[in-house]
Amino acid sequence: MSNLVKGDTVKAHYKSGTYIGIVQEDRGQQYLIEVRAVLKHPLQGDLHNYGQTGEDVFFHERKALSFKEKMNVKKPAVHAYETEEIPPYDESLQKAIATYKEKLNQNSTVFSLQCLKMLEQLEVTHYKKNHHN
């Protein structure tokens, strides 16, 4: 694994999402990373019972981290990002949502429909009003 330093552009897997960010600090086992774009939207639902719905399953709503929000990410989940320029945050978020919706629409299970409902709710309650920049 290469050693990353402050200012490096990275791809980081955090919780169930993937982000492009800038290393802010090396914290031993983790890097502090500032989010600049979303590559993969976090998964909806119960990650411990993924693909399931029902009374015993708590269906989690997970929103993507915001522009310039900071996250502590374990070093093995952080990789140098040299592929292309960092896309604008709003554009990357919309693309990540569209990709996730497309994947969910290929399955018409109760679980997929519940995930779609959560994503659409997030778009209305969080993304539309918070990211007009």
Q: Token digits for 24?
A: 């802010």
pLDDT of residue 49: 67
pLDDT at res. 1: 45
Q: Is residue 106 part of a domain?
A: yes
* Percent of the chain's residues with pLDDT above 70: 86
Query: Total domain count for the chain?
Result: 1
Q: Is residue 54 scored above 80 in pLDDT?
A: no
Q: 95 in a domain, yes or no?
A: yes
Q: Which letter, b or e, does each residue of 17-47 get, where b requires 16 or more Cβ atoms within 10 Å of its Cβ?
A: bbbbbbbeeeeeebbbbbbbbbbebbbbbbe
pLDDT at 132: 42
Report the pLDDT value the prediction gives residue 125, as an integer from 0 to 100.
87
pLDDT score of 10 more than 90? yes
The pLDDT assigned to 47 comes to 67
Quick check: 77 pLDDT over 90? yes
- On average, the pLDDT of the chain sits at 89
pLDDT digits (tens, 9 = 90+) for 11-35: 999 999 999 999 999 999 999 999 9
Residue 28 maps to a domain? yes
Q: 57: domain CATH number?
A: 2.30.30.430
Q: What is the pLDDT of residue 60?
A: 76
Residue 14 is assigned to a structural domain of this protein: yes
4 belongs to a structural domain: no
Task: Let me know if residue 79 belongs to a domain.
Answer: yes
- Assess if residue 58 is contained within a domain: yes
By three-state DSSP, how is residue 56 classified?
A: coil
Q: What are phi and psi of 75, to 5 degrees?
A: -55, -40
Contact 19, 69 (CB under 8 A): no
Pairing relationship of beta strands 78-80 and 30-40 according to DSSP bridges: unpaired
d(CA 33, CA 129): 24
3-state helix, strand, coil in the chain (%, to 5): 35, 25, 40
Domain housing 103: 9-130
Q: Is residue 88 part of a domain?
A: yes
